[in-house]
Each structure stands twice: as C-alpha cells, then as structure tokens.
Amino acid sequence: MSDYTGRTVVVTGASGALGAGLVTAFIDAGADVVGVDRAAPDERAAVAGVRYEAADLTDDAHVASLLDGIGNPWAVVNTVGGFAPNAPLSELDPEELDQQLHLNLMTAAVVTKHALRVMMPIGAGRVVLTSSKAATATRSNGFAYSVSKLAVLHLVRMAAEEVAGTGITVNGVVPTILDTPANRASMPDADHDKWPKIPDVARSYLYLASPSSHLVNGATLPV
C-alpha cells in the first residue's frame, strides 16, 4: 500500500462506522487526516492525530469554506449518506425520496465539486465516493435509497470524464451491507460473520486514494 506521509486526506462522515474506520486506516498509513462530520466526535470516539471539522455537507458555502481552509488536500473521501428501508412504490413517500437524494447525492456532488475546484490548479489528487450495491439492485431495496445511490455512480463517471488526462482521478466504492453495530441491531438474525468488515473494506479506499492508483479513473469497485 502506498505511503501517505506528507499527504492530507479528508474523510467526510468521519463519525460514522465506515468513516471512523477509514480515518483510522489513513492515519495508520501515515496520512494527515481531516475528519469531517456535522459535529465533531466526543473525546472517547476521536482518533488521535486527526483534525476534526464540523460542517453541513449539503451546504455549498460550508463545503467551499471547509476545503479552502484545509488548503491542498491530496484526497477527499466521501462516506456521508442516509438509508431508507424497502417499501412498495405504491407507498412511495416523496419526502423520503427528497431526503435520500439530498443525503446521498447532494452531499457527494457538493463534496466532489469543491474537491475538484481545489485540486485542478495543482493538477493532482484523488476523489473517492461511496455508493452501494443497492444502486443496481431492483429487488429487496427501497426505491428512494437505491436511486440516490445509483446517481452517485453516475456522478463518478461524469466527474472522471471531466478530469481524464489530468493528475486527478475520481472513483467509487460500492459496498454490500457492512458489519457495523447499527446493521447488526437492525438485522439481529443475520449471519454477521459473513458481512464485510470495515478494516477489510478500507483497503479499497486506501488503494483508490493512493498515488499508485493513477491509472484508475471512473471505476466503481464492488466490495
């Protein structure tokens, strides 16, 4: 795995299970990590050596100010998102659809916008977004969640095309259900041992955000 020494990596959703795992993985890889969430974690959950910032990632001005304040990040990794359970389309809640698009697509789009804005003058950097296996599945998934995550895949492809030929890449990770406390609580009868563990999933992010992944652009990696 590439050495991140001297490189700043921004991880959004840093207080969530996936985000916190990625913060730890990048710190262990030698990166200078900025963890971003709506609120900074308390001292017990904070990872030593991480600079935490609070920001509303659905707010364009907040994200602009955040990235400008960080300076020259090498990589921006977005894990922010929301979930909505399966329900028949005949019972679709328009408010839930709007919420899912806001949480999953708007955050990813705004973060990508400003990550690219600060990386383009330098001509180097990595953007890694998070979608879901539910994005391309039509069964056993709620429409609102599925379509919002599908839009993230489209965002990856369009952004990658825009930066093709530069030193910047945009890629995505597409996890299945992850082994987190919240997921275990929601599905207590599932076989949790078979679920992907966050330290294992983190390796995909570490690769896509690394200097050595320079030939990979527009990929959506299933894990």
User: What's the total number of domains in the chain?
Assistant: 1
Q: Please give the pLDDT value at position 2.
A: 65
Whether 105 is covered by a domain: the verdict is yes
Give the range among 53-57, 86-90, 101-105, 148-152 with minimum mean pLDDT: 86-90
Structural domain harbouring 126: 8-176+202-222
Whether 28 is covered by a domain: the verdict is yes
pLDDT in tens, 26-65: 999 999 999 999 888 777 778 999 999 999 999 999 999 9
Residue 213 sits in a domain whose CATH number is 3.40.50.720
Is 90 exceeded by the pLDDT of residue 10?
yes
Predicted TM-score (pTM) of this structure: 0.94
Beta strands at 220-222 and 75-78: parallel, antiparallel or unpaired:
unpaired
Give the range among 37-41, 88-92, 191-195 with minimum mean pLDDT: 191-195
Q: Please give the pLDDT value at position 18.
A: 94
Q: Please give the pLDDT value at position 109.
A: 98
Is 70 exceeded by the pLDDT of residue 78?
yes
Calculate mean pLDDT across residues 126-153. Answer: 91
Of 146 and 190, which is predicted with more confidence?
Answer: 146
Of 37 and 87, which is predicted with more confidence?
Answer: 37
pLDDT in tens, 93-135: 999 999 999 999 999 999 999 999 999 999 999 999 999 998 9
Whether 126 is covered by a domain: the verdict is yes
Whether 191 is covered by a domain: the verdict is no
Distance, CA of 151 to CA of 195 (rounded, Å): 25
Of 21 and 137, which is predicted with more confidence?
Answer: 21
Distance, CA of 112 to CA of 130 (rounded, Å): 12
Whether 196 is covered by a domain: the verdict is no
Calculate mean pLDDT across residues 65-90. Answer: 90
> Could you give the strand order of the β-sheet that contains 51-54, starting from the edge strand earlier in sequence?
51-54, 32-37, 8-12, 75-78, 125-130, 168-174, 220-222
In the chain, the percentage of residues whose pLDDT exceeds 90 is 72
Q: Please give the pLDDT value at position 30.
A: 96
Q: Please give the pLDDT value at position 110.
A: 97
Whether 26 is covered by a domain: the verdict is yes
Is 60 exceeded by the pLDDT of residue 1?
no
Whether 138 is covered by a domain: the verdict is yes
Whether 1 is covered by a domain: the verdict is no
